[in-house]
Amino acid sequence: MSKVYFKDLSYIKELLASVEHSQLFILADENSKGHCYPLIKDYLEYHQVIEISSGEKHKTLDSCNLIWNALTNATADRKALLINLGGGVITDMGGFCAGTYKRGIRFINIPTTLLSQVDASVGAKTGIDFNGYKNHIGLFCEAEAVLVNPTFHQTLPQEQLVSGYAEMLKHGLIADQKHWQDCLENGYGKFSNELIQQSVKIKEKVVEADPTEKGLRKILNFGHTIGHAIETHLLNTENELLHGEAIGLGMIAEAFISRSKGLLSDQEYQIIIKELGRIYNSSKIEKASYVEIKRLCKQDKKNQNGELNMSLLKNIGQAVYDIPVEEELIDEALNVIL
Ligand SMILES: NC(=O)c1ccc[n+]([C@@H]2O[C@H](COP(=O)([O-])OP(=O)(O)OC[C@H]3O[C@@H](n4cnc5c(N)ncnc54)[C@H](O)[C@@H]3O)[C@@H](O)[C@H]2O)c1
Ligand SMILES: O=C(O)C(=O)C[C@@H](O)[C@H](O)[C@H](O)COP(=O)(O)O
Ligand SMILES: [Zn+2]
């Protein structure tokens, strides 16, 4: 699996020297180009910047077209190297475009949001949304390397930190009670390299055990069946949520289902909803949307043979996967986050 480096940004020079390449391209959106590119520019040799518009609504085939066209117009060959500089939208989509261009060129991830540093840039899931379904088209495709540096947080809006914090709390809930505690003690004002590293280590351990999600890796998807459905349902509306904000609500709903299934104790459920509910509580979901949310859940990648399967919690720090869930339980769970 890709190595994750927690180093100064100047380390880019060494990474570039270690990956033989013919041409260098930087993929960014307007925010990562404005705020992050100036911090790395001096460490780069001659290169071309490919800029796409920011946000989940641009994680689409149209943006891929722009990226593939830019590579084609520059006559990029199979030894071309792409640096994905940005949040999870950039690392997911850039990885996918690199993995498919001329059947695959190499790429390095330089994640610039907390969420992409602790989760999206690590583990080789790449892809785009399609027909309104999250990450519906994609590849498992490894980055050559990932360079993580919290300097990028200086320009990140607070809500983006809160969004990334959800995936860190998820890592604690599914696999490491101490990390959950450490995250709660830390709060979401500022994140040390150490806490970010702890979170990445949890993800790496799960991915190493099951790189292509045949089994155990599904635990990283806790909160995502309902979270993704909420995120998709609200995309392009005035109530749009960031990925982590939607996953925060998804985790509350799926913790409820965990308790209903007799997996999670009431005591731990109460702790989880108290802590998550303090932060992820701005739900703008109406009862009329439940049918649509359940329809979206049916497209989740963990489902099989028409059965809805979720990853749920057994304890704080332990998750289980492939648990069949009845639709009525989703209604009840949505009532909890309303
Ligand atoms: N592949 C995976 O394993 C995985 C894991 C988790 C999430 N994801 C995906 O990641 C995406 C969410 O990632 P995200 O939260 O990073 O969102 P994002 O990529 O949309 O970035 C959030 C916003 O921050 C801006 N930005 C980025 N860096 C900045 C900086 N340093 N300063 C100021 N602004 C900056 C971006 O332009 C964007 O507007 C979702 O599409 C989600 O599905 C993938
Ligand atoms: O790495 C994983 O595996 C995850 O599930 C991490 C999630 O946080 C992430 O949002 C991922 O993109 C979801 O994958 P999907 O398979 O449900 O699209
Ligand atoms: Zn996620």
- Domain residue spans of the chain: 3-155, 158-337
Residues 6+ apart with CB under 8 A from 107: 81, 82, 83, 84, 94, 95, 98, 99, 143, 144
> Look-up: residue for tokens 């989760």?
119
Residues 6+ apart with CB under 8 A from 239: 284
Residue with tokens 């960014």: 28
Q: Which ranges constitute the DSSP H helices of 28-87?
A: 30-35, 37-40, 61-73
Whole-number Å distance between alpha carbons of 177 and 169: 10
The whole-angstrom separation of Cα 141 and Cα 2 is 10
ipTM of the complex: 0.99
Closest atom of ligand 2 relative to the 88 alpha carbon? 12
Tell me the two tokens of residue 301: 């990648």
Cα distances (angstroms) measured from residue 2 to each of 93, 97, 100, 124: 17, 18, 18, 8
Instruction: Report which bound ligand comes closest to the CA of 247.
Output: 3
Cα 46 to middle of ligand 3, angstroms: 34
Residues with CB under 6 A from ligand 1: 29, 31-32, 35-36, 54-56, 59, 86-90, 92, 112-113, 115-116, 119-120, 123, 125, 135, 152, 155-156, 160, 163, 167, 242-243
**Closest ligand 2 atom to 170 CA:** 8
Residue among 109, 220, 231, 245 to mutate when testing ligand 2 (max atoms within 8 A of CB)? 220
Question: How would you label 246-264 residue by residue, b for 16+ Cβ within 10 Å and e otherwise?
Answer: bbbbbbbbbbbbbbbbebb
The ligand 2 atom at the shortest distance from the C-alpha of residue 221 is 5
- By most ligand atoms within 8 Å of CB, the mutation choice from 125, 222, 241, 301 for ligand 2 is 125
| Closest C-alpha residue for ligand 1 atom 13 | 88
This model's pTM is above 0.80: yes
Query: SS3 breakdown of the chain: % helix, strand, coil, rounded to 5?
Result: 55, 20, 30
Using a 6 Å CB cutoff, which residues line ligand 2?
A: 119, 123, 125, 134-135, 167, 213, 217, 220-221, 224, 301
Mutation choice for ligand 1 from 115, 134, 155, 240, CB with most ligand atoms inside 8 A: 115
The whole-angstrom separation of Cα 188 and Cα 171 is 15
Q: Which of 120, 73, 125 is nearest to 96 (CA)?
A: 125
Q: What topology is assigned to 3-155 in CATH?
A: Rossmann fold (3.40.50)
The pLDDT tens digits along the chain (338 residues) read: 889 999 999 999 999 999 999 999 999 999 999 999 999 999 999 999 999 999 999 999 999 999 999 999 999 999 999 999 999 999 999 999 999 999 999 999 999 999 999 999 999 999 999 999 999 999 999 999 999 999 999 999 999 999 999 999 999 999 999 999 999 999 999 999 999 999 999 999 999 999 999 999 999 999 999 999 999 999 999 999 999 999 999 999 999 999 999 999 999 999 999 999 999 997 778 889 999 999 999 999 999 999 999 999 999 999 999 999 999 999 999 999 87
Tokens standing for 190?
A: 């500022």
For 62: left if phi > 0, alpha if psi spans -120 to 50, otherwise beta; the answer is alpha
What does CATH list as the number for 158-337? Answer: 1.20.1090.10
Distance 42 CA to ligand 2 centre (A): 33
Q: How much distance in Å is there from the Cα of 263 to the middle of ligand 2?
A: 22
**Minimal-distance CA residue to ligand 2 atom 16:** 301
Which ligand 1 atom is at minimum distance from the Cα of 152?
A: 31
Mutate which of 116, 137, 236, 251 for ligand 1? The one with the most ligand atoms within 8 Å of its CB, which is 116
The CB-side HSE value for 83 (13 A sphere, CA atoms) comes to 28
Q: How far is the CA of 225 from the centre of ligand 2 (A)?
A: 10
Q: How far apart are the first and last CA of the chain?
A: 40
User: In 112-252, which ranges are E strands?
Assistant: 125-130, 133-140, 145-148
